[in-house]
Amino acid sequence: MLTKGNIKLIKYVSYILLQSVVYGFGNPLTKVAYQSITPFWLLTFRFSMALFIFFIFFGKRIACQLRTVKLSQYLPASLCMALAYITCNLALNWTSATNVGFLMSLPVIFAPMLAVVILHQKYNFRYLPLQIIVTVGLYLLCCNDSRFALNKGDFCALITAIALSGALVFGKKSLESIDTVTISATQAGVTAFISLICALVFDDFSVVPNIAPVAWAVVVYLALTCTCMAYILQNSALVHLSPSTVSMLQCTQPILTAVCSFIILRETLSFRGILGGFIIIGSILVANLMETKEKTD
* Structural domain boundaries in the chain: 4-296
CA 264 to CA 123: how far, in whole Å?
Answer: 40
Dist CA 101 CA 191 (whole Å):
20
Residue 157: predicted pLDDT: 84
pLDDT the model gives residue 292: 62
Q: How far apart are CA 83 and CA 8, in angstroms?
A: 31
Model pTM greater than 0.85?
no
pLDDT at 191: 94
Per DSSP, 228 falls in state I
Distance, in Å, from the CA atom of 97 to the CA atom of 284, rounded to the nearest integer, reads 22
How crowded is the C-beta side of 283, counted as CA atoms within 13 Å? 27
Cα angle, residue 192 at apex, residues 191 and 193 outer, rounded to 5°: 90
User: What pLDDT, on the 0 to 100 scale, is given for residue 6?
Assistant: 72
Can you give the pLDDT at residue 247?
74
pLDDT at 213 (0 to 100): 95
Nearest CA among 134, 91, 89 for reference residue 111: 134
Per-residue pLDDT of the chain (297 residues; tens, 9 = 90+): 557 667 777 888 888 888 888 888 888 899 899 999 999 999 999 999 999 999 998 899 999 999 988 888 889 989 998 999 899 888 888 887 877 877 777 776 777 777 777 767 777 777 788 778 877 877 776 665 555 556 788 788 888 888 988 888 888 778 788 888 898 899 899 999 999 999 999 998 898 999 999 999 999 999 999 888 887 888 788 778 877 777 777 777 777 887 888 888 777 767 777 787 788 778 777 776 676 666 555
Residue-by-residue DSSP string for 242-282: -HHHHHHHGGGHHHHHHHHHHHHH-----HHHHHHHHHHHH
With vertex at residue 174, the alpha carbon angle to CA 171 and CA 179, rounded to the nearest 5 degrees, is 100
Cα radius of gyration rounded to whole Å, the chain: 19
Query: Are the CB atoms for 221 and 32 separated by under 8 Å?
Result: no
Q: Tell me the Ramachandran region of residue 266: left when phi exceeds 0, alpha when psi lies from -120 to 50, beta otherwise.
A: left
How many whole angstroms separate alpha carbon 167 and alpha carbon 114? 10
Instruction: Say if residues 250 and 117 touch (Cβ distance below 8 Å).
Output: no
The pLDDT assigned to 239 comes to: 78
End-to-end CA separation in angstroms for the chain: 14
